[in-house]
Every structure is written in structure tokens, then in C-alpha cells.
């Protein structure tokens, strides 16, 4: 459609500009806010030009919040560490458990395999609180309440279905003939899995792992229900931080920036995998 009129092109340009402003403005504004002192934040009308300060970030990193009322300890770095630890561990465990299972589902149409695969997928769509609320009571009895072990276990509900379904799709796309040939040459199934199937599905496994990491990092409700302050990731910690820090808005903004930067960076880095991953491969074809 080359013969578009000038008016139409202008209208398209305006529409695109509005779209970009709507979706980018909040991120930009919070980013700017994180370099402002409370005085510039509170000034009316809001300022676009100001002398940037790093005091919000230094306060978060040193863990000392100085205000008129005195110094207050803030545990935000602890939350950030919890996010890193929980996400990385959960994804690692998920890959360890999920990749072999995905291979089994893709290669062997054994009895009940579709049913099991669907059951696992249905976890992705069940209301999380349905499982989480009874789990709080069980975890207290089992001594798993507020432990990293318990949290990583429950995080499998986020990561495992995702990895299972995406990686299964990748294994299905690899022709089984290569594997047969390798096995006829006298190699074990494990050697075949490790030397042939895993490298060929490598990009898919990486994409699934990245996406699972982002979902684990962004999760809110699991840790809100199961973790207390010292185990909470940034999503929950930031909410508590808002009430704790009162009116230190610059620090809240800086905390938000630090909390969303890792997932945004990963997403931009791996953006071409995201479309397939986000829809669990539903649009592949």
C-alpha cells in the first residue's frame, strides 16, 4: 500500500507518537524522579530540569535512610539479593527437572503423557491463591514457612510449566532421525540426549530459562503470602518500603528503578525469543 496520502501519514505519525508517549512516559518519569531530591519532587509544577543527585541510590545501597527524624535502616539491598537468589535458583531447579521431562513428552508418546502434560500446564492457569493459602498452613506445620527451600519449591509452579511447554515444542521440532542415527552408532540414550538433543534445543532452553527468570522475578503474590521481611523479593519489599520510608519519594523511585532494571535489560537482550515464549509457543507455525 504505497499510495498513502500525506494526511494519512501525518495521522499515523501522531498516533504512533501518542502510543510511545503513553507507554514510555511512566518509565522515564520514575527514572528522572530517582535522581531528584524530595524538594524538587514536591515542587509544583513538576520540573523537567533539575540538578541530578545520587543520594537516593547511595541511601539504598548503604542501607541508611537519613531524614529529619533520624537514621533508619532499610533492607532494600536484602530484597534485591532475595530476588536474585530466588529467581536464579528456581530457574536452575526448573531446568534440571523440566528439560528431561520435556524431552520425554516430546519423544515418547507414552500412556497418559498428554494428560500429565496438560495437568502441568493447567497450573499456569489456576488461581495461585487457591494453592498458596492452604500452603501457608502446611508450611507452618512442615517448618517450611519463610524458608528459601519452601519458596523455591513453590516458585516451581511459575517456572516449571513454562519451561516444560516451551522446551517440549523445541524438542518436537528437532527431527528424531538424527538421534536414531547416533544411537545406531552404539551410543546410549543419555549420550544421545546430552550430545545431540540438548545442543540442538539449546536456543529454546535458553529462551525458556530467560522467560522463567523474568516471571519469577516479577512474581508478587507467592512471596507476599509465604515470605516474611527477611526473605521477601523486591516486588513485595518495595511495597513495604513505601510505608516504611514515608515521604522519601526519591528513594521509592530509585528502588523501583533498581527492581525493574534487570528484567528490562534481559527482555531487551532476548526480545526475539519473547513472542514465542510468552504465548507458550501458541503462535508458532
Partner 1 sequence: MPAVVPTARRRSGLRISKRALPYVLSLPALLVCIGILVPFFAAVLYSFQRYRLSQPWNRQYNWGENYLNFFTDPGFWNTLRVSLVYAGSTVVLELLLGLGIALLLQKRTRLNNFISIMLLMPLMTAPALAALMWKLMTNPGFGVLSYLAGLVGLQDFRWASSPSTALFTVVLVDIWVYTPFIMILLLAGLRSLPTQPFEAAALDGVPRSFVFFRITLPMLMPYILTATLFRLLDSIQQFDIIYAMTQGGPGDTLTVFQVEAYLNFFQSTNVGRSAALLMILWVITYFLSFVFIKNWLRLRERARGEA
Distance CA 271, CA 81 (A): 25
Distance CA 207, CA 19 (A): 28
Using DSSP's 3-state secondary structure scheme, residue 66 falls into strand
Report the nearest approach of partner 1 to the CB of residue 51 (Å): 18
Report the nearest approach of partner 1 to the CB of residue 58 (Å): 20
Closest to partner 1 by CB, 4 or 71: 4
Closest to partner 1 by CB, 54 or 264: 264
Report the nearest approach of partner 1 to the CB of residue 160 (Å): 6
Cβ pair 277, 214 in contact under 8 A? no
Distance CA 210, CA 6 (A): 43
Report the nearest approach of partner 1 to the CB of residue 146 (Å): 15
Helix (H) or strand (E) holding 67: strand 64-67
Closest to partner 1 by CB, 65 or 179: 179
Distance CA 250, CA 242 (A): 11
Task: Using alpha carbons, select from 148, 198, 147 the residue that is nearest to residue 170.
Answer: 198
Report the nearest approach of partner 1 to the CB of residue 35 (Å): 14
Task: Using alpha carbons, select from 268, 281, 104, 116 the residue that is nearest to residue 208.
Answer: 281
Closest to partner 1 by CB, 30 or 75: 30
Cβ atoms within 10 Å, residue 25: 10
Cβ atoms within 10 Å, residue 43: 12
Closest to partner 1 by CB, 65 or 233: 233
Closest to partner 1 by CB, 65 or 281: 281
Report the nearest approach of partner 1 to the CB of residue 236 (Å): 8
Amino acid at each position: 500500500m504505497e499510495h498513502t496520502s500525506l494526511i494519512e501519514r501525518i495521522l499515523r505519525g501522531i498516533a504512533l507518537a501518542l502510543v510511545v508517549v503513553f507507554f514510555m512516559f511512566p518509565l522515564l518519569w520514575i527514572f528522572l524522579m530517582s535522581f531528584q531530591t524530595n524538594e524538587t519532587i514536591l515542587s509544583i509544577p513538576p520540573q523537567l530540569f533539575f540538578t541530578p543527585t545520587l543520594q537516593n541510590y547511595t541511601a539504598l545501597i548503604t542501607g541508611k535512610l537519613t531524614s529529619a527524624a533520624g537514621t533508619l535502616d532499610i533492607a532494600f539491598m536484602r530484597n534485591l539479593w532475595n530476588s536474585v537468589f530466588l529467581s536464579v535458583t528456581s530457574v536452575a531447579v526448573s531446568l534440571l527437572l523440566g528439560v528431561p521431562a520435556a524431552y520425554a513428552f516430546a519423544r515418547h508418546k507414552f500412556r497418559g503423557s498428554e494428560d500429565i502434560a496438560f495437568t502441568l500446564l493447567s497450573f499456569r492457569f489456576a488461581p495461585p491463591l487457591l494453592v498458596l493459602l492452604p500452603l501457608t498452613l502446611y508450611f507452618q506445620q512442615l517448618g517450611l514457612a519463610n524458608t528459601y527451600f519452601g519458596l523455591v519449591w513453590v516458585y516451581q509452579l511459575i517456572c516449571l510449566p513454562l519451561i516444560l511447554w516451551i522446551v517440549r515444542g523445541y524438542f518436537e521440532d528437532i527431527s528424531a532421525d538424527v538421534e536414531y542415527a547416533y544411537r545406531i552408532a552404539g551410543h546410549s540414550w543419555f549420550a544421545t540426549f546430552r550430545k545431540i538433543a540438548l545442543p540442538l534445543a539449546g536456543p529454546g532452553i535458553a529462551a525458556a530459562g530467560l522467560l522463567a527468570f523474568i516471571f519469577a522475578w516479577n512474581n508478587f503474590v507467592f512471596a507476599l503470602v509465604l515470605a516474611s521481611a527477611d526473605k521477601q523479593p523486591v516486588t513485595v519489599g518495595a511495597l513495604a518500603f513505601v510505608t516504611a520510608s514515608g515521604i522519601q519519594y526519591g528513594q521509592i523511585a530509585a528502588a523501583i528503578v533498581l527492581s525493574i532494571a534487570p528484567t528490562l535489560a534481559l527482555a531487551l537482550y532476548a526480545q526475539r525469543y519473547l513472542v514465542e515464549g510468552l504465548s507458550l509457543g501458541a503462535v508458532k507455525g
